[in-house]
């Protein structure tokens, strides 16, 4: 996990496959790429076996472009649709049992801290709503209460997509699904509220049809998790198969859901704001110069 691991050993470069060579020469490693530059560099995630038009894949793709240091990032995932794409990216991916992603990430981030000290090594958990809010719920919450320093991203398609349409805790009340024929009986879980209560230093909700916003929340969350504390992003990623969303309407659905019930929201602690401003020069969090009216009279 460093820039060195993507470079060729001397003498081997001429034997490397073209894709690998391309990744080393035109990939994002060691460069600062942005979502606005998509199409002008080789992305770490290029191929995946997820459904055509799936909004989750768009989100994962944007998230991976937005990692501040992809060469120093490990993703952790679990069973569910997302891992089909996450595991194809050109960065290390750790896959545990269904739901144990936050426990695995806790050990991993602590181990990396011991091994590499202050050198940033970013651990990013990406898992579905079922993996995170149902079977992995206790491990997710405990990692936040313990203030484990990694980023947790929920790929919230509001269903168990990979297993054909069971309800999850994040499904909306009353929603009928293939394997919830009578409709869900209880409200969508407030994971954002719980993340704040448990002390996450940064919490955001986002939809994938605004790439710059996705980029901004991912960068902030990963940087804050390096030193300040746990961070949580909840991304509406839809499931065009289980919710029967026509492929050409997937982004329209994201927009409608964002307007109706998934508005962009951001919670950031004062400590995290100061850290982003001082360490990484985030202008929006730099102290505002005192206005003339606020200055004490001479
Ligand atoms: C211990 C265990 N139980 C059940 C499963 C079967 N399983 C695989 S994926 C999945 C549901 C995934 O739903 P979610 O986490 O919401 O992710 P999505 O597929 O919707 O992205 C289940 C129940 C499993 N792999 N392991
Ligand atoms: S089942 Fe749903 S979430 Fe899974 S890949 Fe297909 S569209 Fe995406």
DSSP β-bridge partners for residue 204:
233, 266
Going by DSSP bridges, is the β-strand pair 202-206/151-156 parallel, antiparallel, or unpaired? unpaired
**Cβ proximity of 202 and 267 under 8 Å:** yes
Q: Ligand 1 center to residue 136 CA distance, Å?
A: 11
Please tell me the residue having the least CA distance from ligand 1 atom 3: 98
Q: Please give the pLDDT value at position 298.
A: 61
Query: What one-character DSSP code corresponds to residue 29?
Result: T
3-state secondary structure of 22: helix
Element (H, E) at 128: strand 122-128
> Is pLDDT at 297 greater than 80 in this prediction?
no
Residue with tokens 């049992």: 97
List, for residues 176-220, the tens digit of each pLDDT value. Answer: 999 999 999 999 999 999 999 999 999 999 999 999 999 999 999
pLDDT tens-digit readout, 38-95 = 999 999 998 999 999 999 999 999 999 999 999 999 999 999 999 999 999 999 999 9
Phi/psi at 93 (5° precision): -130, 130
Instruction: Report pLDDT for 118.
Output: 87
- What pLDDT is attached to residue 250? 97
Could you give the dihedral angle defined by the CA atoms of residues 274, 232, 234 and 212, in that order, rounded to the nearest 10 degrees? 40
* In contact, 91 and 5? CB cutoff 8 Å: no
Residue 296 pLDDT more than 80? no
Q: With a 6 A CB cut-off, is 128 part of the ligand 2 pocket?
A: no
pLDDT at 9: 83
**What is the distance in A from the centroid of ligand 1 to the CA of 158?**
12
Q: Is the CB of 207 under 6 A from ligand 1?
A: no
What is the CA(289)–ligand 2 centre distance, in A?
A: 48
Q: How confident is the model over 148-177, as a mean pLDDT?
A: 98
Long-range contacts of 268-275 (CB under 8 A, 24+ apart): 268/201, 268/202, 268/203, 268/220, 268/224, 269/201, 269/202, 269/228, 269/229, 271/201, 271/228, 272/201, 272/202, 272/220, 272/224, 272/228, 272/229, 275/223, 275/224, 275/227, 275/228
In this prediction, residues 266-285 reach a mean pLDDT of 97
Query: Using DSSP, how many helices (H) and how many strands (E) does the chain show?
Result: 11, 7
Q: Which ranges of 97-136 does DSSP label H, i.e. alpha helix?
A: 101-116, 129
Residue 45: how many other CB atoms lie within 10 Å:
19
pLDDT of residue 293: 67
> Is ligand 1 within 6 A of the CB of residue 155?
yes
Over range 145-173, report the average pLDDT: 98
Find out whether 213 and 206 touch, Cβ atoms under 8 Å.
Answer: yes
Count the Cβ atoms, other than its own, within 10 Å of residue 237.
28
54 C-beta closer than 6 A to ligand 2:
yes
Are 195 and 144 in contact by the 8 Å Cβ rule? The answer is: yes
The pLDDT tens digits of the residues spanning 224-266 come to 999 999 999 999 999 999 999 999 999 999 999 999 999 999 9
pLDDT digit string (tens) for 104-138? 999 999 999 999 998 999 999 999 999 999 999 99
- Residue whose C-alpha is closest to residue 187's, from 206, 207, 168, 203: 168
Mapping DSSP onto H, E and C, the string for 198-234 reads CCCCEEEEECCCCHHHHHHHHHHHHHHHHHCCCEEEE
pTM score of the predicted model: 0.95
Nearest CA, atom 3, ligand 2: 239
Q: What is the pLDDT of residue 292?
A: 67
- By the 10 Å C-beta count (0-12 exposed, 13-18 middle, 19+ buried), 175 is classed as middle
Give the residue, by CA position, lying nearest to ligand 2 atom 6.
51
Question: Exposed, middle or buried by CB within 10 Å (0-12, 13-18, 19+), for 151?
Answer: buried
């Amino acid at each position: 996990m460093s820039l060195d691991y993507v470079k060729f050993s001397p003498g081997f470069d001429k034997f490397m496959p073209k894709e690998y060579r391309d990744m080393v020469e035109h990939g994002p490693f060691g460069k600062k790429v942005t979502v606005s530059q998509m199409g002008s560099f080789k992305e770490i995630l290029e191929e995946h076996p997820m459904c055509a038009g799936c909004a989750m894949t768009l989100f994962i793709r944007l998230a991976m472009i937005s990692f501040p240091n992809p060469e120093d990032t490990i993703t952790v995932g679990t069973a569910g649709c997302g891992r089909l794409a996450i595991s194809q990216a050109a960065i290390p991916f750790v896959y545990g049992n269904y739901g144990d992603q936050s426990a695995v990430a806790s050990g991993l981030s602590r181990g990396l801290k011991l091994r590499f000290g202050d050198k940033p090594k970013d651990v990013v958990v990406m898992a579905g709503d079922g993996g995170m809010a149902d079977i992995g719920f206790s491990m997710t919450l405990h990692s936040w209460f313990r203030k484990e320093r990694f980023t947790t991203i929920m790929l919230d398609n509001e269903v168990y997509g990979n297993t054909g349409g069971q309800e999850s805790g994040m499904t909306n009340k009353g929603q009928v699904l293939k394997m919830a024929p009578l409709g869900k009986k209880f409200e969508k879980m407030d994971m954002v509220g719980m993340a704040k209560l448990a002390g996450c230093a940064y919490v955001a909700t986002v939809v994938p049809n605004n790439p710059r916003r996705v980029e901004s929340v991912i960068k902030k969350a990963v940087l804050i998790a390096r030193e300040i504390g746990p961070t949580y992003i909840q991304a509406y990623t839809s499931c065009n198969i289980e919710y029967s969303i026509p492929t050409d309407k997937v982004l329209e659905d994201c927009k409608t859901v964002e307007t109706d019930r998934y508005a962009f929201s951001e919670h950031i602690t004062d400590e995290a704001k100061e850290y982003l401003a001082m360490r990484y020069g985030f202008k929006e969090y730099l102290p505002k110069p005192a206005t003339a009216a606020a200055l004490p009279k001479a």
